[in-house]
Structure 1
Amino acid sequence: MRLKTPQDYGLVIRENRRKLKMTQQALADTVGVGRQWIIAVEQGKAGAELGLVLRTLQILGVHIALAVSETEQAVTQLHQGVPETALRNPAPEPDETPGTNLGMTQAAALRFVVREGGLRQ
């Protein structure tokens, strides 16, 4: 299943909560949020804290697999052999103010998050 929007995630949360025969209040208590937060997320309201959404999915037994697009794969292949520190902190262009250029492609940022354990709980 491909999840692209907050509504997609909300639907997955609602369906899995119902499969487990959990009330919104029981899920809210387990996640550590209010029932209104669960209602909002299930309705697909944008702006929910990612960490709480991930915790909710974990509690419901939903696992997320990451699929890299062909464009990101091409960018990754271009960067093969380049030290990871160069991808995170390249030298700024002469006309740029240091500190304003993160210098990361989406693929490099993705690899950084995964390698640094940013998605682990």
Structure 2
Amino acid sequence: MFAALRRPCLLAAAVVLTVLGSAPAADAGWVTIQNDTGRVVVVQTTVTSNNQPRRGRPVRLLPGEHVREYHAAAAVQVEVFEGREQDRSLYCGQLALRTDPQAFSIASAGRGVTVTPAGR
């Protein structure tokens, strides 16, 4: 009877250890972009893969909100638009990415915005 229960228990233990052991690796490539302006903005990322740009979906962020995305690429282009008129770009630039989780802040800069690593 115990032999029949032993195999499923060993399998379950192996799965749990695999999941727990890979938890730090699961955070790699995650990018958080926070809206630290006093206005509504729309953020859209573009990643180039096999020489083909792939635009992400536009995300509307209220003041204080953030978006968290996974990117396996070494760089990502970020474009920030005015919340009401998405044809008016406030910022467009490349973000160099590392393998560890990163956070960026959108801050007001005159009529536009800047996107910088959080905490700077």
Normalising by structure 2, we get a TM-score of 0.23
Highest relative contact order (Cα 8 Å, sep 6+), 1 or 2? 2
Could you say which structure has the larger radius of gyration?
2
Normalising by structure 1, we get a TM-score of 0.23
Higher helix share goes to which structure? 1
Higher strand share goes to which structure? 2
